[in-house]
Amino acid sequence: MERLRTLLKKIDGRGYKAYKELKGSYQFHGYRLTLDHVQGDPFARPSRISIHVPSSVAPLSPEFCSGRIRKTAAEDFLARGVARAIQAHVKGQRGIGKSGEIRIETSGQQILVRNSVLIDSEGIEARLTVGLPAAGQTIMARDAEEMFFRELPEVVAHGLYFENLDKGSFQRHVESAEDQHYLRGLLLPNNLAAFVADNSLLPRQSGIDDRPLQGKKVVPFVAPDSLACTLVLPNRGKVRGMGIPRGVTLIVGGGFHGKSTLLHALERGVYNHIPGDGRELVATDPTAVKVRAEDNRVVSNINISPFIDRLPFARNTTNFSTENASGSTSQAANIIEALEDEAALLLIDEDTSATNFMIRDERMQRLVVREKEPITPFLFRVKEMYHDLVVSTILVMGGSGDYFAVSDTVIMMDSYRPEDVTLNAHGLVDREQVQEKLSDLPPIVRKAERRPDAGRLNPVRGKKEVSIETRGIDTLLYGRHEIDLSKVEQLIDIGQTRAIGLIIHYYAINYADKAGNITEGLKLALKDVEEQGLDILSPWKTGTLALPRLHEVAAAINRMRAAG
């Protein structure tokens, strides 16, 4: 500790690169501070530091971090506590660039596996970034000393010392996460695709603000009696809510009555949420994939013939590639890729779908005969996908009643209140009519022996042998590839985007040439990460990664353009 103080005095007023002399570890009262990487410029990426608090100084109650789910929730709670302590005790801007900044990576409304805070038998490690202060290129050592010797000790004390934490909030945080994980595990045994508990608050503040909407007009969710079920959780006990059965479920209703709001909650139901989010007890099959049209996306070697065949000039669709897919072609590819990724549930909103992919009414079928139409609407295959592949679908549909004929359950949203209108919907259609159209369609193949081209997985860019960067949550720069992930709607955190790039590289090195197909290889790579931690992905210590799902990693590879 005093050695750091002496070094700061020594480099005061010198050029910025003299900060490099600080790299190393320093023992403070109750914790060890390590400067893992020191930035070379005040405008460069901030310096990386880690703080290790031994269990002898700040012991955590064992019940708060026993088991994988509780441990992840405990790490999440501590990271959020550190972030609040930074906001309360750090002055912030000093000098130019990022001078004076102290940050820790945390999640939004979801609880993700991260590496910003790690708990093990030896204690707690928190990884932060620090903008070492400078006036121009001149070191401001006194300001740095204030950050290290006054501000950081306050952050450690209020964010990481168990004795200073709100024990009740901590307990609710880990127990809530455990209940959510357990609830997701109850879906399959109860033949459910999803579950929404009574009194859930689904509306969000806005399309860019994922926090719950507040106010008297927010309608709590209440399950209709015909779809209600009660499940028992380890901490909360009995919970009543709406169980959405496996099969084909339609969500219908007028505009602005809550259809898409419900579907959005189900999209995020693959993740655990923080207490107070309103969606803590919304659980969705963990393999669920939101599928949409995605104009202009690249498609590589996908068998889209179950939905698109008989193209002009006899173009092959069993091994289809394009650099510029249409809405219908991209949606077909997205579905086939989801099936390859072992999705057991598809989530679809008509608002983000290609109309000609979803439906084709009887009059259009009479005018444009089947031999002249290469697109087989999803309508004709959705029931078959459940019967043959056990893949359920939850579909928001407000403009066409054709899907009534193939539905198992129909839920109508009326002023954000769900009603079971299945019998009414079935009474309006001939449920046998669609089945006649299935006889000559190509089979849907769930598993494909598809591997990405080795050239696509090469991260070389210019003189860099490994160039993997992010440009926000939606853009991954992988070697020469700029991958657009803006339509991968269940990707929720930039830490996941960073990890996706590193996982692709890890997969390329370890499994791309060994595993049978892309899905099997990525499952092996993700298993390594889950068992050994996110740190195996990076050659240096970082606290900026969050664990993605298999689907989001595969989606990034599938959107790589041809290697150039």
Q: What is the pLDDT of residues 313-326, one digit of tens each?
A: 667 899 999 999 99
Could you write out the DSSP letters of every residue in 296-337? Answer: T--EEEE--TTTB---GGG---TTEEESS--HHHHHHHHHHH
- Read off the pTM: 0.95
DSSP state of 528: H
Tell me the β-bridge partners of 475. Answer: 484
CA distance 391 to 324: 28
pLDDT at 415 over 60: yes
Domain positions in the chain are 2-165, 454-558
pLDDT of residue 564: 39
Sole residue written with tokens 């403070």: 28
- Segment 429-436 shows an average pLDDT of 67
Burial 252-264 (b: 16+ CB within 10 A, else e): bbeeebbbbbbbb
Percent of the chain with pLDDT over 90: 83
Percent of the chain with pLDDT over 70: 96
pLDDT at 338 over 60: yes
Q: Who has greater pLDDT, 24 or 359?
A: 24
CA distance 17 to 508: 36
pLDDT at 371 over 70: no
Given a contact cutoff of 8 angstroms between Cβ atoms, the answer to whether 105 and 135 are in contact is: no
Confidence band, pLDDT 50/70/90 cuts, at residue 368? low
pLDDT of residue 227: 98
- Segment 446-472 shows an average pLDDT of 87
Given a contact cutoff of 8 angstroms between Cβ atoms, the answer to whether 223 and 196 are in contact is: yes
pLDDT at 436 over 70: no
Average pLDDT, the chain: 93
Q: How many CB atoms lie within 10 A of CB 308?
A: 22
Given a contact cutoff of 8 angstroms between Cβ atoms, the answer to whether 130 and 36 are in contact is: no
Beta strands in 138-219 (DSSP E): 138-139, 192-197, 204-206, 209-212
pLDDT of residue 547: 98
Most confident of 17-31, 203-217, 349-363, 435-449: 17-31
How, if at all, do strands 345-349 and 289-291 pair?
parallel
Q: Find the Cα–Cα–Cα–Cα dihedral 515, 519, 524, 526, rounded to 10°.
A: 150
- Segment 44-60 shows an average pLDDT of 93
For 12-26, 314-328, 406-420, which range has the lowest pLDDT when averaged over its residues? 314-328
Q: Who has greater pLDDT, 368 or 283?
A: 283
For 62-71, 168-177, 313-322, which range has the lowest pLDDT when averaged over its residues? 313-322
For 160-164, 345-349, 396-400, which range has the lowest pLDDT when averaged over its residues? 396-400
pLDDT of residue 335: 97
For residue 287, what are the contacts with CB-CB under 8 A and spacing of at least 6? 270, 341, 342, 343, 344, 345, 551
pLDDT at 534 over 70: yes
pLDDT at 246 over 80: yes
Confidence band, pLDDT 50/70/90 cuts, at residue 514? confident
pLDDT of residue 312: 67
- Segment 517-546 shows an average pLDDT of 96
Given a contact cutoff of 8 angstroms between Cβ atoms, the answer to whether 452 and 512 are in contact is: yes
pLDDT of residue 416: 94
pLDDT of residue 349: 97
Sole residue written with tokens 């005093």: 2
Using alpha carbons, select from 196, 173, 175 the residue that is nearest to residue 184.
196
- Segment 190-204 shows an average pLDDT of 97
φ/ψ of residue 412, rounded to 5: -105, 125
For residue 474, what are the contacts with CB-CB under 8 A and spacing of at least 6? 484, 485, 486, 491, 497
Q: How many CB atoms lie within 10 A of CB 516?
A: 11
For residue 430, what are the contacts with CB-CB under 8 A and spacing of at least 6? 405
pLDDT of residue 374: 84
